[in-house]
A and B are shown apart, each in its own frame.
Chain A
């Protein structure tokens, strides 16, 4: 896979480096750790569909957030951590798009192929790893986003509802 330049065509991208990014990473890290452990425990079937890519490093890059996410879906030691973009690990595959789109894709509320066709979703690196991750998540019943929000009670659910309203409004405007 070649990646000949930084992303230039996603709008409103935050830098994802420097002090602000590092502070943001520190702030969300405890949440991410809880989230990935919870999902791994509740949805063990994900790992079978990942096959040999359980130890692949994925870089999930929500373009408007000040950091990227490093995911290694290893059932023995799952990793989900926020990383400044200038400190991101060398990833086997990178998935890039707006945060709310990525959230809807995790929950199968949006279709990954359609997002790819419309160029709202960008994939680089090991395509098979990405396809396996997509299929693994798509076989999960229910909403991972809602499960995650529920971990933080009413405030968590309120934040998710607000994010979804923002996404719906954004889609309506487009």
Chain B
């Protein structure tokens, strides 16, 4: 049965409290290290902060999910094991994992705590998902953002666990958990260091005509005109020139955000158990606005009312939104 739980981002303790107060059913967060895929400067939680945050969330009936969703490089797995042990000690309600070794460690060491399979595992077939369920006791899979709703409905019939889908936020999908674009330019890994386009490698340059170019590790990846909206400085959303496209074009994705607010009833009907809002790197203002909007929409749907969908375009990347593959495989 779909409970349409709202799974909300928290990059700081204040954002966590904001999400809880705005109506999150669960909040996901990470430590200040490479064990999670938002290992950004000044973001995330110390163990002490997580302890206080778990207490705050639990007091209000909200679950806390700890993201350990990066891949340990050979010989460095202890950092992930210690993070899991700390999370278990602090009373988190579930771990979000991508790596089989991390999943195996938690399944053996902390069998009483739920395992959720991160989108970073890119498990998109019933066979792959069942493998994680059967071998590690995974209770929920976060599906990659490449599936249509009919495909999700079909997968639900063939797996023994809950489904969570993204409903709002960043739409940088590629092959999730296997993107190495940042590595090529910076030497740092999205999947092992938890940094996509590390801020230390990002530069913005503005020009006399009001345009602004964004660079990663010295490579220009886009140039926004004076009146043009901007996006994140990620390679997958870069605009490039080529011999046959001298004016530049978005070769992979484009600056745009996912917004499935109008598809919520269909997703619930398809058997989606939980809705995930992306954005641990975003502000309390974003968390407050987006969580409130989806809390109201989900409550309307559960009560049999037509959902009032708040306008969230101002919070989207490039001030553009899409329903992506959930609507059609031809979204690009």
Chain A positions near chain B (C-beta within 8 angstroms) = 1-5, 7-9, 49-51, 105, 108-114, 116-119, 122-124, 126-128, 130-136, 138-141
Contacts and interface: CB of A to CB of B under 8 A. Distances in A.
B42 A136 contact: yes
Contacts of A119: 212, 224, 228-230
Contacts, number: 119
Given A111-B285, A118-B314, A141-B14, 9 more contacts: A108-B284, A113-B232, A118-B229, A119-B228, A131-B41, A135-B41, A138-B12, A138-B283, A139-B15
A135 B42 contact: yes
A131 B281 CA distance: 9
Interface residues of B, number: 44
B204 interface: yes
A7 to B, nearest CB: 7
A127 to B, nearest CB: 4
B217 to A, nearest CB: 12
Contact of A135 (B40, B224, B229): B40
Given A4-B206, A117-B318, A131 B42 contact: yes
A75 B216 CA distance: 31
Nearest to B290: A111
A128 B195 CA distance: 12
A74 B294 CA distance: 40
Q: Which of A3, A50, A118, A119 has the most CB of B within 10 A?
A: A119
26 contacts: A1-B203, A2-B203, A4-B207, A5-B207, A7-B206, A8-B208, A49-B42, A110-B285, A111-B283, A112-B283, A113-B232, A114-B314, A116-B230, A117-B316, A118-B319, A119-B229, A124-B205, A126-B200, A127-B202, A128-B198, A131-B40, A131-B41, A131-B42, A135-B41, A138-B284, A139-B14
